[in-house]
Amino acid sequence: MRDPASYFSKQAEAAEAAQNQELAQIWQQIGDYFQKKHWHQLTVLILELAVRPELQSGDQLHQLYTESIADFESKINPLSLVQICMPIVEQFKDKEEALQFVEKLGEKVKTNQEAFAQTKVLQGQLQLDHLGNIEKTKNLIEELDDLINEIDRVGFVHGQFYMLASRFYMREGSHADYYRASLHFLGCTELNSLAKGDRIEQAFNLSLAALLGKDIFNFGELLAHPILDDLKGTQKEWIVKVLLAFNSGDVRKFSAMKSEWASQADLVKYEETLYVKICLLGLMEMTFQRSATDRSLSFKDIATQTGLEEEKVELLVMKALSKGLVKGSIDQVAQVANLTWVQPRVLDKEQLKVLVKKINDFTTSINFMENMIETNASDILTA
């Protein structure tokens, strides 16, 4: 029979004997909260205790669970219970046994969406990192995607899920899926909670995924994210310049930087694909830069912008139309692309300046028309 009070007392005595007064005080306070049935305060303190370095060796955390927590786990907030168990799971040498522990935990907290979802994340981590079962990991991620969407607020579990998903997609070489999952992860994670080295790696991998990801033509969100600041002053800063070149469709700048980006094997391997992508972005940028009444782009102008031969321009425009990057039509006889719409993107500072200029020009045009109507109103009405 469990006796949590006795267990807490013995742990406090052991900490005092080891002359660790801080740890001894925590054990004593936990015992006091348990006696008074102050479950919230007890939970907060156990969460703190579970990550202390003194308990990270052997099976001390597992003993904490079996000797005490298991006795009152129904009194603990379900998500907090799962968070307490996370470092316990890491101490299991037998990962199949760890998986069984998490599955049982999931049954105990299944009435709480966040807590249940977090147990699925833990299962996914075990399957991916230790058991090597890719298919089960994939199934868990698909199941979690549905569970996460049912949770009203964005919190701890979302960050955990998107981190798992991004690591899975990286392992599978799915650049676009990795890019989206990692951006979601950063969206619900405080950057300061990540180590500097982890931020640099995350920023570089995200940038690489943006370049290589299929049908990713929107770089603005990433370029505006502060995580890219961590690449400044590092040997990997060049990738931000490549991103800027792609975002503005600057084919010449990308080509001029080859001595830098050629150091990355994946970029060299997919050089031809990257060239097509930046040409498409160049076409989008040309369309965006033009006013709404001046979007008839000659094949010659497009060829000059992209560096393509004129006979290849039509195929480029057709590709852009098929991907929904632009809308319009092609006049084969006149060798002109009549484009009426360009896919919305998150804009950088330079692109915002263009947008502001367009708005100002539009406002000026409206004011001119208004003044003209006012001036000639009497003539129009009496005509």
> pTM for the full model?
0.85
Show the low-confidence residues of the chain (pLDDT under 70).
Answer: 346-383
Question: Which strands make up the sheet holding 296-298, listed edge to edge?
Answer: 296-298, 336-342, 326-331
Per-domain residue ranges of the chain:
1-91, 288-382
Rounded Cα distance between 36 and 207, Å, is 53
Cβ-based neighbour number of residue 153 at 10 Å: 7
What pLDDT, on a 0 to 100 scale, did the predictor assign at position 294? 80
What pLDDT, on a 0 to 100 scale, did the predictor assign at position 361? 54
Indicate the helix (H) or strand (E) that contains 146.
helix 134-150
Token pair recorded at residue 116: 């249940």
Rounded Cα distance between 274 and 280, Å, is 10
Residue-level length of the chain: 383
3 state DSSP class of 151: coil
Tens-digit pLDDT profile for residues 184-216: 999 999 999 999 999 999 999 999 999 999 999
Its CATH architecture, for the domain 288-382, is Orthogonal Bundle (1.10)
What pLDDT, on a 0 to 100 scale, did the predictor assign at position 375? 65
What pLDDT, on a 0 to 100 scale, did the predictor assign at position 376? 62
What pLDDT, on a 0 to 100 scale, did the predictor assign at position 9? 96
Q: Scanning the structure block, which residue is given the tokens 């950063």?
A: 186
What pLDDT, on a 0 to 100 scale, did the predictor assign at position 203? 97
